[in-house]
Amino acid sequence: MDRITIRLPRQQVEMLEKLVEAGEFPTVSEAVRYSVRALLERHGNRVLREADQISFKV
């Protein structure tokens, strides 16, 4: 698994920590991974389709 670094507003970090405290996720990292998966499921296919339509003609 690769590591990336992100910066989030304090309020968002606190909300992620509250989700962990409430038992929704085992760790903040898992909450972020869940969110990224949801984003990619929602938008990933469209982005890939659009990328396939781009031709790099010289």
Q: Mean pLDDT, 10 residues at a time, over the chain (58 residues)?
A: 95 98 98 94 78 60
pLDDT of residue 23: 98
**Alpha carbons 34 and 54: distance in angstroms, whole number:** 30
pLDDT of residue 14: 98
Q: Which residues contact 19 (CB under 8 A, 6 or more apart)?
A: 25, 31
SS (H, E, C) 11-38: HHHHHHHHHHHCCCCCCHHHHHHHHHHH
Q: Which residue ranges make up each domain of the chain?
A: 9-54
Judge contact between 20 and 26, C-beta under 8 A. Answer: yes
pLDDT of residue 51: 72
Q: Which residue has the tokens 């499921």?
A: 41
